[in-house]
Amino acid sequence: MWLRESSVTLEEAKQLLAAAGFSVKSEERTGNDLGWQLRLTNGGVVNVFDTGTFSVQGKCQAEIKAALGSAFRSGQGSCRARTTEHQQ
């Protein structure tokens, strides 16, 4: 499901995700060339549009949205721990 969330730039999104322990597996322009798609090692997907909006798809959406500072907050989930372990 695609949801409009708070405003964020591509660089801000990458910094916030890294600070929360998420790792970007791939980064590429969206098929419609309206923004960037970040695929995370935990199965999450963040679409950061050139307008400053973003959407989150895939696994661990609540934790990813919280990391990006969206109004949707959740407690410490297991997604970050799995992501950090995956990197090692």
Strands (E), the chain: 24-29, 35-40, 44-49, 54-58
* Two structure tokens written together for 40: 């995370």
Average confidence score pLDDT of the chain: 81
- What is the reported pLDDT for 79? 65
- Tell me the fold of 10-75: TATA-Binding Protein (3.30.310)
Q: Which carries the bigger pLDDT value, residue 60 or residue 82?
A: 60
Q: What's the pLDDT tens digit per position in 18-44?
A: 999 999 999 999 999 999 999 999 999
Residue 83 pLDDT: 45
d(CA 44, CA 56): 7
User: What pLDDT is recorded for position 76?
Assistant: 43
pLDDT at 30: 96
